[in-house]
Amino acid sequence: MPPTPRRLFRMIACLFALASLMLGSAMADQRPNVLWIVLDDLGPEIGCFGTPHVSTPAMDRLCSEGVRYTQCYSTSPVCSSSRSALVTGMYQTSIGAHHHRTRQMKPLPEGVQTVMQQFGDAGYFVCDLKPPGVKGKAKRDYNFIADDDLFHGNDWSQRRDGQPFFAQVQIHEPHRPFVQDGDPERADKLTLPPNVPDHPVTRADMANYLASVEKGDKHVAAILDRLDAEGLRENTLIMLFGDHGRPHVWGKQWLYDEGIHTPLIVAGPMIDNPGTSSDALVSLIDVAPTCLRAANITPHARTEGVNILAADFKGREFVFAARDRCGEAADRIRAIRDTRYKYIRNFHPDRPYTQTSSYKQLSYPVVTLLEVLHAEGKLAPEAARMMQKTRPAEELYDLSADPDELHNLAENPEYQSTLKRMRTQLNQWIETSGDQGAIREGDQAYHDAITAEKRKWYENTQRKRGLDPNVSADQYLEWWKKELRLSTP
Q: How confident is the model at residue 487 (pLDDT cuts 50, 70, 90)?
A: confident
Q: What is the pLDDT of residues 119-141, one digit of tens each?
A: 999 999 999 999 999 999 999 99
Structure confidence at residue 146 (pLDDT): 87
Structure confidence at residue 488 (pLDDT): 55
- Helical segments of 338-443, H only: 358-363, 365-375, 381-384, 416-432
DSSP notation for 83-149:
HHHHHHTS-TTTTT--STT-SS-EEPPTT---HHHHHHHTT-EEEEEPPTT--SPPP---SEE-SS-
Residue 324 lies in a domain: no
Find out whether 402 and 62 touch, Cβ atoms under 8 Å.
no
- CA–CA distances in Å: residue 145 to residues 9, 80, 150, 193, 361: 18, 13, 10, 40, 30
104-107's contacts with Cβ under 8 Å and 24+ in sequence apart are 104/441, 104/442, 104/446, 105/143, 105/144, 105/145, 106/144, 106/145, 107/144, 107/145, 107/146, 107/147
Find out whether 325 and 103 touch, Cβ atoms under 8 Å.
no
As beta bridge partners, residue 125 has 165
Supply the CATH number for residue 218's domain: 3.40.720.10
Same domain, 169 and 92: yes
Same domain, 128 and 224: yes
Lowest mean pLDDT among 25-34, 170-179, 250-259, 322-331: 25-34
- Examine the pLDDT at 18 and tell me if it is beyond 80: no
> Comparing C-alpha atoms, which of 248, 137, 236 is closest to residue 203?
248
The whole domain housing 181 covers: 29-317
Ramachandran area for residue 276 (φ above 0: left; ψ -120 to 50: alpha; else beta):
beta
Residue 443 lies in a domain: yes
> Comparing C-alpha atoms, which of 361, 305, 351, 287 is closest to residue 325?
351
Structure confidence at residue 253 (pLDDT): 97
- Examine the pLDDT at 19 and tell me if it is beyond 90: no
> What is the rounded distance in angstroms from the CA atom of residue 203 to the CA atom of residue 231?
42
- Examine the pLDDT at 329 and tell me if it is beyond 80: yes
Alpha carbons within 13 A on the beta-carbon side of 208: 22
Of 317, 344, 372, the residue at which a domain comes to its end is 317
- For 438, other C-beta atoms within 10 Å of its C-beta total 9
> Comparing C-alpha atoms, which of 477, 36, 481, 430 is closest to residue 243?
36
Structure confidence at residue 6 (pLDDT): 39
Of 317, 342, 360, the residue at which a domain comes to its end is 317
Same domain, 355 and 295: no
Instruction: Give me the amino acid identity at 254.
Output: W
Same domain, 235 and 362: no
Number of structural domains, the chain?
Answer: 3
Same domain, 212 and 165: yes
Same domain, 411 and 267: no
Residue 424 lies in a domain: yes
> What is the rounded distance in angstroms from the CA atom of residue 258 to the CA atom of residue 262?
9
Same domain, 64 and 197: yes
Of 287, 317, 347, the residue at which a domain comes to its end is 317
Q: What is the pLDDT of residues 164-217, one digit of tens each?
A: 999 999 999 999 999 999 999 999 999 999 999 999 999 999 999 999 999 999
> Comparing C-alpha atoms, which of 246, 175, 274 is closest to residue 215?
175
Same domain, 427 and 442: yes
| Mean pLDDT value across residues 243-253 | 98
Q: Which residues of 265-282 are buried (b: 16+ CB within 10 A; e: fewer)?
A: bbbbeebeeeeeebebbb
Same domain, 20 and 46: no
Same domain, 61 and 202: yes
> What is the rounded distance in angstroms from the CA atom of residue 121 to the CA atom of residue 426?
35
CA dihedral 8, 9, 10, 12 (to 10 degrees): 90
Q: What is the pLDDT of residues 51-67, one digit of tens each?
A: 999 999 999 999 999 99
- Examine the pLDDT at 7 and tell me if it is beyond 80: no
As beta bridge partners, residue 430 has none
Helix, coil or strand: residue 217 = helix
Residue 120 lies in a domain: yes
Same domain, 259 and 393: no
Same domain, 432 and 310: no
- Examine the pLDDT at 17 and tell me if it is beyond 90: no
> What is the rounded distance in angstroms from the CA atom of residue 359 to the CA atom of residue 327?
7
Residue 328 lies in a domain: no
Q: What is the pLDDT of residues 404-446, one digit of tens each?
A: 999 999 999 999 999 999 999 999 999 999 999 999 999 999 9
Find out whether 82 and 91 touch, Cβ atoms under 8 Å.
no
Residue 224 lies in a domain: yes
> What's phi and psi for 112, nearest 5 deg?
-100, 130
Residues with Cβ within 8 Å of residue 427, at least 6 apart in sequence: none
Find out whether 346 and 391 touch, Cβ atoms under 8 Å.
yes
Find out whether 266 and 54 touch, Cβ atoms under 8 Å.
no
Residue 92 lies in a domain: yes
Residue 322 lies in a domain: no
- Examine the pLDDT at 396 and tell me if it is beyond 50: yes
